Amino acid sequence: MIFGDSKAPCAELVVIGDEVVSGLILDRNSQYLGEKIHELGIEVSRITTVGDSASVIEDCVKLALKRSDWVVMTGGLGATHDDITKSVLLKVFECGLKKDSKVASMLEEMFRFRGCAVPGMVRSQFEVPEKAEILYNEKGTAPGFKMRQGKTILFSLPGVPREMQYLFEKYVAPEMAAQKNKTFLHRLIKTTGISEADLWAKVGPLESLQEKAAIASLPSHLGVRIRISTLAESRPEGESRLDEVEGFLAQRLSRYIYGKDEEGLEEKVGALLKGKSLTLATAESCTGGLIGHRLTQVSGSSDYYKEGFVVYSNEAKVARLGVDPKLIEEFGAVSEPVAQAMAEGVCRVTGADIGVSVTGISGPSGGSDLKPVGLTFIAVHDRSGTCCKKFIFTHDRIRNKERSAQAALDLVRLMIQGEVEI
């Protein structure tokens, strides 16, 4: 039990679809709903995922209605033969269909806009369970339903993530929020450049912090995210607990923390560049364009991202960035001197304030005893000088590329923040 209180209201999810139980698609709806409902201070006690079988769905819904305060169903509301949620609801709630004129007019309008009449199959959506309140769906053709049995409220939502999320935000979340009595708050503290074990060793004993908030560690090959969360009587009380925990972590981990919540490393780097009116250019070998791709995921990046080169071959390193061929000959393309020359060259050629370069062996082939797969040099150059770091990544090609790009963006961040030694 997450909230440690068996009388707290609880919710159950019922996910419907052959494509989910047979592993054809990855169900992300459950994670979305689990997180959102949890944030509302309601515990999700159970998620049941079933195929398109009427009797199994009926069985699940009946059990869920008995056990839980809230039941949220997703899927099976489309207009094809395997969408059977509506007929199951008729059976469970013992009612018939009625025509909903607002659904009808919304769909007629939608198809008029597309220049055609409502197709025969879609017209079945006009008919809704008599006992249901309708969740009007501006994002698709299937309306959702809200139905009540005793003190339990059931929501049936479409399975298309965009439509499901829209109806959840519009109808379900406000209703759940109105009934909750505590406030759930959480923050995500994002770190990179330190292993999970080293991170927690640096933080030290957690006992006193854990009285303030729950602390969870989410490691990945790109860094460790720390989630701190608390269930408080009021928002100010919760915020102050989280502030205290966050302050403690920030003090211990300072340079490793790059962002909070939704902020990615590329956003952070972008904000730092923008704040200091600096421009950046990239010179990528093994990352193949991934750093440029990440930088340009951020709207407005054209303000500070000047230009990029994907210089896979030695010739390109020489021709585009003016790397001295003798350096490549003497030290090899994957070496500190070449990484430095690439970062310096990309600044010289483009006139950017900061240049970042990556040269490495992503694998699986191309390694040697002296230069193993995963060996990567990353350099950042600005007016103050050039900083170069050596890494040996031990993953597969794709994750080595991802780690290289992450480490390169992080080195740019630290350079701008004045936290690297030249």
Buried/exposed code over 118-148 (b: 16+ C-beta within 10 A; e: otherwise): beeebeebbebbebbeebebeebbbbbbbbe
Chosen residue from 111, 200, 248, 312 binding its own copies by CB under 8 A: 312
Cβ at position 95, least distance to its own copies in Å? 26
> In the complex, what is the shortest distance from the CB of residue 39 to its own copies, in angstroms, rounded to a whole number?
8
* Binding to its own copies in span 271-290, by CB under 8 A: 282, 284, 286-290
- Gap between the Cα atoms of 229 and 231, Å rounded: 7
Q: 384: helix, coil or strand?
A: coil
Binding segment for its own copies (CB under 8 A), chosen from 137-145, 203-211, 241-249, 295-303, is: 295-303
State which of positions 166-205 bind its own copies (CB under 8 A). none
Nearer to its own copies, 52 or 410 (CB): 52
By the 8 A CB rule, do 291 and 282 touch? yes
Q: Residues binding its own copies: what is the number (CB under 8 A)?
A: 74
Q: Which of 301, 357, 386, 404 binds its own copies (CB under 8 A)?
A: 301
Residues in 218-247 that interact with its own copies by CB under 8 A: 218, 227
CA–CA distance, 156 with 72 (Å, rounded to integer): 6
Kindly tell me which of 23 and 150 has the beta carbon lying closer to its own copies: 23
Phi first, then psi, for residue 298 (nearest 5°) are -90, 125
For 237, the token pair is: 């009380």
d(CA 107, CA 417): 54
Residue 100 binds its own copies, judged by CB under 8 A: no
Between 287 and 420, name the residue whose CB sits nearer to its own copies.
Answer: 287
**Residue placing its CB nearer to its own copies in the complex, 13 or 128:** 13
Q: Binding marks (x or -) toward its own copies, 383..412, rule CB under 8 A?
A: --------------xx--x-----------
Q: Report the nearest approach of its own copies to the CB of residue 161 (Å).
A: 11
Minimum CB–partner distance for residue 171 and its own copies (Å): 19
Cα–Cα distance, 108 to 330 (Å, whole number): 72
| Residue at 108: amino acid letter | E
Name the residue nearer to its own copies (CB basis): 171 or 305.
305
Q: How far is the CB of 124 from its own copies (least distance, A)?
A: 19
3-class state of residue 25 by DSSP: coil
Instruction: Give the one residue of 16, 295, 412, 420 binding its own copies; rule: CB under 8 A.
Output: 295
Q: Which of 105, 179, 297, 394 binds its own copies (CB under 8 A)?
A: 297
Which of 186, 295, 198 shows the shortest CA–CA distance to 241? Answer: 186
**What tokens were used for 410?**
């992080």
Considering only CA atoms, which of 155, 162, 136, 16 is closest in space to residue 82? Answer: 16
Is the Cβ of residue 23 or residue 96 nearer to its own copies in the bound state? 23
DSSP-based helix, strand, coil % in the chain, nearest 5: 45, 25, 30
Look up residue 63 and give its amino acid. Answer: L
Measured CA to CA in angstroms, residue 298 lies from 114, 217, 267, 268, 270 at distances of: 32, 27, 6, 10, 8
